[in-house]
Amino acid sequence: MEKKDIIQAVQHLREFSQKRNFNQSVDLIINLKGLDVKKQGNSIDLFAVLPNTRKKKFKICALVGHELAQSAKIFDKVVVQDEFSKYQANPKLVTELTRDYDMFVAQANLMGPIATTFGRILGPKGLMPNPRSGCIAPPEANLESLSQKLHKTVRLQTKKEANVKAPVGSEDMKDEEIADNVLSAYNTLIHSLPQEEANVKSVLLKTTMGPAIKVGEAKEHIQERLKQKEKNVKNKNE
């Protein structure tokens, strides 16, 4: 996939996405082929560190001991070990955390108590701190650099369908910054596929509330496709 084609898709995305009163996310969607993701060993679950920080940041909660309690204040919330018993006694409080925070950072030497207290709820939601994402930090970690890295990290994961969807930017970013993030995530993914690019069916970009734009699709085809979609919706409502 060429960078120039991605930049063109980003430009089409801006043109055909209606302006909203909030900063929309730009999502990357990669549809796969020739890969049964429901079959054991074929599912995809990896992390990519993007070259550019997504300006639309997510919220991070830190689960730490006294060693990192002070430096962890750079995150949006800190739950120290002394408070774990409160959450263990009331799992609804853990559920509230999953609604308010997008990612959890854990102190490495506390993974046992963290798993016991939070694992039952964080695990099924895919929010349990993961060493592959860099979310498990040693007691002497530099949390400032970790925070910067995590805000550039995206999870590339297949669920029930043979596709991967990940936020790679926001509409207030430059076209080239978004394109570099798309290319970085794409290259990370294809190197994990058994047949690499041969397993890729299509690559699309989409804003939060806008239409999906296929990378490499001509502007005339996009116009015709969206016009036909609008006509179909109109006919259905009549």
**pLDDT tens across the length of the chain (238 residues):** 899 999 999 999 999 988 899 989 999 999 999 998 888 888 899 999 999 987 667 899 999 999 999 999 999 999 999 999 999 999 999 999 999 999 999 999 999 999 999 999 999 998 999 888 889 999 999 999 999 999 899 999 998 899 999 999 999 999 999 999 999 999 999 999 999 999 999 999 999 999 999 999 999 999 988 888 887 777 777 6
Of the candidates 171, 196, 151, the one whose C-alpha atom is nearest the C-alpha of residue 1 is 196
Q: Which two tokens stand for residue 28?
A: 């990357």
* C-alpha to C-alpha distance for 56 and 7, rounded to whole angstroms: 20
Domains of the chain (ranges, CATH numbers): 3-55+154-237 (3.30.190.20), 60-150 (3.40.50.790)
- Report d(CA 206, CA 191) in Å as an integer: 23
